[in-house]
Amino acid sequence: MADPSQLSLGEASRAIAAGALSPVALAEAYLERIAALDGELHSYLLTLPDAALAAARTAEAEIKAGRRRGPLHGIPIGLKDIYKTRGIRTTAGSRVYETHVPDEDAESWVRLREAGAILLGKQETHEFAIGGPDFTLPFPPARNPWNTAHYPAGSSSGSAAAVGAHLCAAAMGSDTGGSIRGPAAYCGIAGLKPTYGRVSRRGVFPLSYTLDHCGPLARTVEDCALMLQALAGHDPLDPASADVPVADYAAALAPRLDGMRIGVIRHWHERDAVAGFGPDNTPSAAYVAAFDAACRTLESLGARVADIDAPPLIDFADANRVIMVAEAYALHEQDFRTRPQIFGRHMFARIGLGAFLSAADYVEAVRQRRELCEAFAAATAGVDAVVSANTTGPAPRIDQVGTWGTFERASYTAPYNLTGLPALSVPIGFEGGLPLAFQIAGRPFDEAAVLRVGHAFEQATEFHRRHPPIAASLPSRR
């Protein structure tokens, strides 16, 4: 096999199961690419070549002995550097934890490791999952694999860039206001925010207890389904974890959508973005055309597609940001008061806003969240899934992303953090050589339906099969 790093997770898994691909060869291919390319991409903060190759050799021996654990056995992945790893430095992208070595593993990494996944390294994150891209920190910001002068979005920036550039088969990100789905959109890959409580957050540095979600980034929807299968399930030691049955996600994937009812929330990008956030949030013409074409594709697959009305986009963004900033400030208040100079400028400015919020502000945002959840459930009661915009244009240049951009631009992802619903980002086109994407959301704990819609769309289109120039095969040195 010339370059196994070009395979999706699902393809690599099937090749390993068939004996056509060695886990050692797959790990070597990814490590070779990281060594050759990551000096430009900065997607990893730390790599673990010796440990990864040792784990790959163990996986290969187990599989040959007939003890294959499942689809992830022998698959190399990365972790956003807010996932604690016992004995391995975990920085949260901050000087506060620059030399921190945890004595525990995040529960989600434990589950992936027990499923046979191999850890290649820890991936770049905005400081505490909100403060970036910040060039004043000791960790260089990750770059977009489609054009390294451009932003990969955040805060799961390194994880998305690494997946997009074929520097791992899949990665774990986190999502408080869109930090899985935004990077997935800009990097041209799939990214899934599961239902709140579906995946344990124990052992992951928090940003907002009310809004934080953990989930996978991968090259295809099938890959996300395979990752979620290992991740999903109740964790009795995580107070937010839900004890809800787990579906067979891979079995739910199908090429057709016959009988499914899909609602389209078009007014968020056609009217609400400009009305609530200003004219700079006007979607590009290319994005509107790509979104409309994607909806027609869903209809051609047998779905019944119709526009629906949801609460205004600005209402979700307002409540989301107040809750996030208030809870984040509470987490970091002592350090803000005693050693503010240790933080990067973006992190300090964004989270510092929490010092000016009152208890009444927070309580009102929590009340508004409850009302929006009820209103959204009523608006979507007659459909099986919902599609809406993600980022409504291509990735900006990384040097044009300032401290307040995250607050000034329309957030199409925040509604699903506020409601806790599952949401998936899938590529729908390109503009200026950079990817475009939309979101597919569903009912609570119905990730199976969301993944089914995303997979059928992928199979009917070619967008996920395009790869950035940096992802082209390297000349083999083996």
Say if strands 76-80 and 118-123 run parallel, antiparallel, or are unpaired.
parallel
User: Vertex 223, ends 219 and 227: CA angle to 5°?
Assistant: 125
Of the candidates 8, 94, 155, 241, the residue annotated as catalytic is: 155
| 84 labelled catalytic | no
DSSP element (H, E) containing 190? strand 190-193
Distance CA 127, CA 330 (A): 16
Residue 133 preceded by cis peptide, ω within 30? yes
CA dist 391 and 466 (Å) reads 19
CA gap 323, 118 in Å, rounded: 35
Q: CB-side exposure of 421: number of CA atoms within 13 Å? A: 25
Give, for 31, the enclosing helix (H) or strand (E).
helix 23-41
Q: What's the half-sphere exposure (Cβ side, CA atoms, 13 Å) at 237?
A: 6
Tell me how far apart the terminal alpha carbons of the chain are, to the nearest angstrom.
11
- Let me know if 464 is exposed, middle or buried by CB neighbors in 10 A (0-12, 13-18, 19+): buried
- Tokens 């090259």, residue located: 219
Q: Which of 8, 174, 179, 388 is catalytic?
A: 179
80 is annotated as an active-site residue = yes
Edge-to-edge strand list for the sheet holding 434-442? 44-47, 118-123, 76-80, 170-175, 213-218, 190-193, 423-431, 434-442, 385-389, 261-265, 304-307
107 three-state secondary structure:
helix
Cα separation of 322 and 415, whole Å? 13
Q: Which of 5, 80, 84, 94 is catalytic?
A: 80
In 3D space, the residue among 304, 167, 223, 212 whose CA is nearest the CA of residue 13 turns out to be 223
Q: Are 313 and 410 in contact (CB under 8 A)?
A: yes
Our CA angle for 330, 331, 337, nearest 5°, is: 70
Catalytic residues: 80, 155, 179
